[in-house]
Amino acid sequence: MALSSLVFGLGWKVAMPLAITNVGEAFAAAWMVRRAYPRFGQFLSAREILWFVAVAGIAVPLVVAFVGALFVHIAGRAPYWTTWRDWFTAHAVGVIAFGPPMILLLGGYINRWMKRVDRIRAIEAWAIMLAVCAVATVTFG
């Protein structure tokens, strides 16, 4: 993360604070989702999905965007509110679109599901994931 800040020309002055902010954002989202919904992990109910989206996808990125935008603004690279908007949007969309598949994959749920699902459902799931990746690529470059 610090390397990406350097690659994009933000400099050492904000590279480490941005890296710490990003790690803190992930930790805060995971901790808050677990506090709000202790049995979280498999996205089996609408309530579980709602808590994930509300906390990890909206609330945490909304608050952390204030900190991230401040560091980028201090580096003199962009206006504060433009950076805040971009940070919030990118992190919210990223968590909502890619968080659930990664959580399910790393938790071993996808592997277990693939062993017991019929072929048409597996093809449908992969098609949806590829469509999400294609839309993200077109949207964000």
31 and 76 part of one domain:
yes
13 and 63 part of one domain:
yes
122 and 85 part of one domain:
no
47 and 79 part of one domain:
yes
90 and 125 part of one domain:
no
Contacts of 16 (CB under 8 A, 6+ apart): 2
118 and 77 part of one domain:
no
Among 114, 100, 115, CA closest to 41: 100
Residues in the chain with pLDDT values less than 50: none
DSSP letter, residue 39? T
Measured CA to CA in angstroms, residue 102 lies from 43, 78, 114 at distances of: 12, 31, 15
Q: Look up residue 27 and give its amino acid.
A: F
What is the per-residue pLDDT across 40-70, written as a single tens digit (0 to 9) for each?
Answer: 888 888 999 999 999 999 999 999 999 999 9
17 and 56 part of one domain:
yes
Instruction: Look up the domain containing 26 and give its range.
Output: 2-99
Distance, CA of 130 to CA of 3 (rounded, Å): 28
Among 123, 132, 68, 65, CA closest to 96: 132
Q: What integer pLDDT is reported at residue 141 of this predicted model?
A: 76
89 and 128 part of one domain:
no
94 and 138 part of one domain:
no
27 and 81 part of one domain:
yes
Q: In the chain, how many domains are there? A: 2
Distance, CA of 35 to CA of 66 (rounded, Å): 23
- Using only C-alpha atoms, the chain has a radius of gyration, in whole angstroms, of 17
25 and 93 part of one domain:
yes
123 and 90 part of one domain:
no
